[in-house]
Structures are given as C-alpha cells and as structure tokens.
A = this chain, B = another copy of it.
Amino acid sequence: MSRDTVIIVAGGEGRRLGGPLPKQFLPLGEVPVLWHTLLAFHRYDPSLQIILVLHPDWTGHWQKVSRALQPPIDYQITTGGETRFHSVANGLALAEDGGLTAVHDASRPLVSRELLERTFTAAREKGNAVPATAVHDSLREVTDDGNRPVDRSRYRSIQTPQIFPTRLLKEAFRQPYDPAFTDEATVVERLGEKIHLVEGEKRNIKITATFDLKVAEMILHSDPE
C-alpha cells in the first residue's frame, strides 16, 4: 500500500530587512513552532512522507536551528513559490502517488492526533476532508456602500490539514493559477469536486501574531497532548 503524504507550507514569508522572524520559527515551549508542526504529523504516523515547503530565504536558517532538535524526523525540504498555490505545487512535485496528501499550515503547530485521525479517516471514506469550526462572533459583509449583517450559522471557519487523494490534488494543481485559489479546497473544487467538511478544533489555532503565540503557550501548558 502506498503511503500518505503531508505538505507543510511555510513558503510565503521572505526575509525582510529588519523585519521580525516569521512566527513559525519562534519558540513555543522549548522548540520552534515549526518543529511542533512536524512532530504532530510524525507522531501521528511515522511512515508518513513529510514535505516541508520553505521560503528560500529561510532554508539556511531552518537547517541550522533544526539540526539539534529531537527526536529525529525524516522529511524533505523544498522551496516555496510566489503564492501558496505555487508553494503547494512545489511540494506536490515530490509527493509519492497512490495515497492521500494532506496540506497543512506550518503555523498550526497544535493540531491534535484526534483531528488528524478524523480528517484522514473522512478523506479516505468521503473522497476528501477539510476541518471547519462554527463561527462564534456575529459576522458582517463589507459592501460597496457600507456593510450588512449575514447569518453566521451559515458560515464555517476553515482550518488545515486539507486532505485529498494525491492523484486528484496533482491534477487540480495542474490548472493555471487563479487568485481565487486561496486554499487547496478552492483548487480541487474547480475540478467539480464537492468539499467534505469535518469538525475542526479550537486548539488548532493559526499563529500569525504575538497574541496567538501566547494562546499557543497556554494550550501547550494546559493540554500538551
């Protein structure tokens, strides 16, 4: 049986002169955010093919800081492209055929084993799977002349990993780039596929600001898994 693949995407952010270190390289607990992300997948399934997509500006940095990290994890590194679409396409070029491919944000280090189990299982059974959570705050849509209320119960917040058969994902990523391709679901959908949502989880936060890093520290402290 073919093994499954995960593409961990950290390809977007280049090195800006004097700019802050992208959040995925900052420490969370004792190791960088990105190491937690790699570990979550490695621990879930040690046979998983792990492909890390890094912006070329950060490859050297990561190779240096990750050298001493434990336990050893077997993964491949490739470089990111102009957009997330191009970064995932670069990762897919290395993906082994025949299994499922999960695409996951490097900045979501706290994804639980349960969510991985649920999403991989659903993808196997339903053809694909994308984790989603209810929207808790009221929502408004910005319009040309102001804004209007929308019914939040009709909306879902989308997380990763987004999981698809590898062959299908490769076919989808052969389509020409479209700015409407904001995640993998939107790319696969363009082929006429329906997206299957599974229940996401609060701990699977995306770390984009210092605030989120503090929330992540809290989660790690109170529920380390």
Interface residues of A (CB under 8 A from B): 132, 135-142, 146-147, 149-152, 154-159, 180, 182-183, 185-186, 189, 194-195, 197, 202-203, 206, 208-209, 211, 214-215, 217-219, 222
Contacts and interface: CB of A to CB of B under 8 A. Distances in A.
Contacts of A209: 202
6 contacts: A137-B158, A137-B206, A138-B183, A139-B158, A140-B197, A142-B156
A44 to B, nearest CB: 22
Chain A at the B interface: mostly helix, strand, loop or mixed? Answer: mixed
B159 A142 contact: no
A203 B214 CA distance: 11
Nearest to A153: B142
B159 A139 contact: no
A214 B208 contact: no
Contact of A155 (B136, B146, B150): B150
Given A149-B186, A209-B202, A195 B140 contact: yes
A120 to B, nearest CB: 20
Nearest to A203: B211
A182 B146 contact: no
A208 B133 CA distance: 14
A147 to B, nearest CB: 6
B202 A136 contact: no
A192 B20 CA distance: 45
Contacts of A217: 218
